[in-house]
């Protein structure tokens, strides 16, 4: 009997292709999750909304690692440029054994003042999404923007 490690060549990424049906299933699920998230933001007191049972430790570690990060706008460059990618990776790895699916690709809004849309999303590991959205909730960012989200939704529904 052989182990799976001896059967799979992890070193050669060219041997693997993305299955379009898996990508489509992920995209559908990610869209559904973003819709649920916006519905929660619009209907709940976001300052008391808990997105995960480990919220307190996630927020503490997030603000320890990124004390000055303005969560109003988290751009791809803030996630990747000037050594940020390594700092984010270190943050993520703290939760490897704590948060289920901590590294699952998840849609996150770039600008907190706007709803999910193709030009206002970035794919990040789930733990980054949780940390940023928890901070947006606790720090009052999502509550401050709630009226704009509702107005945007109402405009779309009237079309």
For 111-140, the pLDDT digits (tens) are 999 989 889 999 999 999 999 999 999 999
Q: Where are the domains of the chain?
A: 19-158
Alpha carbon 35 to its chain's center: 13
Per-residue pLDDT at 7: 54
Q: Under a CB-based contact definition with an 8 Å cutoff, are residues 113 and 23 in contact?
A: no
Whole-number Å distance between alpha carbons of 152 and 54: 31
DSSP 68-113: T--TTB--HHHHHTTTHHHHHHHHHHTTTTTSTTTT-EEEEESBTT
pLDDT in tens, 69-88: 999 999 999 999 988 999 99
**Helical (H) or strand (E) element with 124:** strand 121-125
Does residue 147 come out as left (phi exceeding 0), alpha (psi in the -120 to 50 range) or beta? alpha
- Bridge-partner residues for 109, per DSSP? 121
> In terms of Cα–Cα distance, which of 114, 123, 143, 102 is closest to 23?
123
For residue 98, what pLDDT band results from cuts at 50, 70 and 90? very high
User: Is residue 46's pLDDT more than 60?
Assistant: yes
**DSSP helix/strand/coil, 64:** helix
* 117 vs 110: CA distance, rounded Å: 10
Top CATH class, 19-158: mainly alpha
Q: Which residues, at least 6 apart from 138, have a Cβ–Cβ distance to it below 8 Å?
A: 47, 59
């Amino acid at each position: 009997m052989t182990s799976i490690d001896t059967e799979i060549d992890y070193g050669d990424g060219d041997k693997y292709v993305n299955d379009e049906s898996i990508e489509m299933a992920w995209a559908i699920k990610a869209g559904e999750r973003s819709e649920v998230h916006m519905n929660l933001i619009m209907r709940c007191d976001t300052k008391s909304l808990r997105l995960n049972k480990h919220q307190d430790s996630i927020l503490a570690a997030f603000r320890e690692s990124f004390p000055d990060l303005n969560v109003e706008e988290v751009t791809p460059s803030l996630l990747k440029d000037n050594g940020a990618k390594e700092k984010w990776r270190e943050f993520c790895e703290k939760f490897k054994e704590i948060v289920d699916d901590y590294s699952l690709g998840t849609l996150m809004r770039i600008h907190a003042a706007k709803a999910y849309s193709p030009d206002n999303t970035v794919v990040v590991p789930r733990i980054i999404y949780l940390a940023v959205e928890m901070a947006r909730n606790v720090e009052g960012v999502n509550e401050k923007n709630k009226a704009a989200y509702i107005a945007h939704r109402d405009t779309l529904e009237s079309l």
